[in-house]
Amino acid sequence: MKVTVFVTPKKNVLDPQGAAVGHAMASHGFPSLKQARVGKTIEIDLEAGDTPEFRASLDKICQELLSNPVIEDYRYEISEAGA
């Protein structure tokens, strides 16, 4: 099973990297840009089933370690099969 965790700065938290990337995109003539945000992805391979218990442990590690709830949001995607 593969889990991809996406960590992004909270909407109301200043994102200096996102602002710089957005500025560079605008400089390249990229049209209609309103905002760019920079976060990180964490790809995890593991041997487990997608159970409620597993999701609970995944939420726990996301809240305690992978993201800082003061400044970041997280979401994840779970894909079966090691594709």
Residues that bind another protein (CB under 8 A): 9, 12-14, 16-17, 20, 65-66, 68, 70-71
Of the two residues 50 and 68, which places its CB atom closer to another protein in the complex?
Answer: 68
Q: Which is nearer to another protein, 3 or 9 (CB)?
A: 9
Specify the residue, 50 or 69, whose C-beta has the smaller distance to another protein: 69
Instruction: Judge residue 32's burial from the number of C-beta atoms within 10 Å of its C-beta, 0-12 exposed, 13-18 middle, 19 or more buried.
Output: exposed
What is the token pair recorded at 39?
């976060």
d(CA 10, CA 49): 30
**Min CB(69)–another protein separation in Å:** 9
50 residue type, one letter: D
